[in-house]
Chain A
């Protein structure tokens, strides 16, 4: 079974609007961490936001927020006020238990329209 599922291969959003990128995960370990990374066409991986399984509040970092719904095992990324520079691939990833390994989803390609 897939550990991390991103069901949206591609998304469009109008500049200045908000967009939600979906991510669901599967783990039986009560201790885990969820990460979102951005990968522009140049290839580098840029860390955006982190949510721990024991965190009571949803994580926020500037225009990025994470809609963490633990019972549904979802960790959707919300980007507010989209900018043209937000066009990129976005990967959701999970670290579980005592392992430092990251398990990545298949990614969502976001295109911001002017």
Chain B
């Protein structure tokens, strides 16, 4: 069964709306979670690393004020796309992992975000 739950699976909303996406680890405590963005027919691009109890670490070129990340507990990280615009439309997917070296990242099912 799924070890990482991501919600919602699909969002369609108007330009200017803020959208919150939740990522929950179900079977283990995840001190670290990751947020990715994927454009059609492309690979996953890491946006940020979410650390429980501290600020997220953003990759170069990712706007911190645009993509707010909160990791308030060991099982939940949230990504909020603030004042979303059509160019923010994409597939967003999170992952979580047991902090053991050879363990894989387990991914949520992703969120398809469409901004009209």
Contacts and interface: CB of A to CB of B under 8 A. Distances in A.
B79 interface: no
Given A44-B110, A101-B34, A50 B102 contact: yes
A102 B43 contact: no
Most buried by A among B91, B97, B101: B101
Nearest to B91: A43
Q: Interface on chain B toward A: helix, strand, loop, or mixed SS? A: strand
B49 interface: yes
Interface string B69-93: 0000000000000000000000101
A101 B104 CA distance: 11
Contact of B107 (A42, A45, A100, A106): A45
Q: Which of B34, B49, B105, B109 has the most CB of A within 10 A?
A: B105
A101 B45 CA distance: 11
A100 B99 contact: yes
Contact of A100 (B32, B43, B112): B32
A47 B32 CA distance: 18
B105 to A, nearest CB: 6
Interface residues of B, number: 22
A102 B105 contact: yes
Interface string A47-87: 10010100000000000000000000000000000000000
Contact of A104 (B44, B101, B102, B106): B44
Contact of B43 (A44, A52, A101, A105): A105
A50 B104 contact: yes
A10 to B, nearest CB: 11
B95 interface: yes
Interface of A: 33, 35, 37, 42-47, 50, 52, 91, 100-102, 104-107
Interface of B: 32, 34, 42-44, 46, 49, 91, 93, 95, 97, 99, 101-102, 104-110, 112
19 contacts: A33-B101, A35-B104, A43-B91, A44-B107, A45-B107, A46-B107, A50-B102, A50-B104, A52-B101, A52-B102, A91-B43, A91-B44, A100-B32, A100-B49, A101-B34, A102-B46, A105-B43, A106-B43, A107-B43
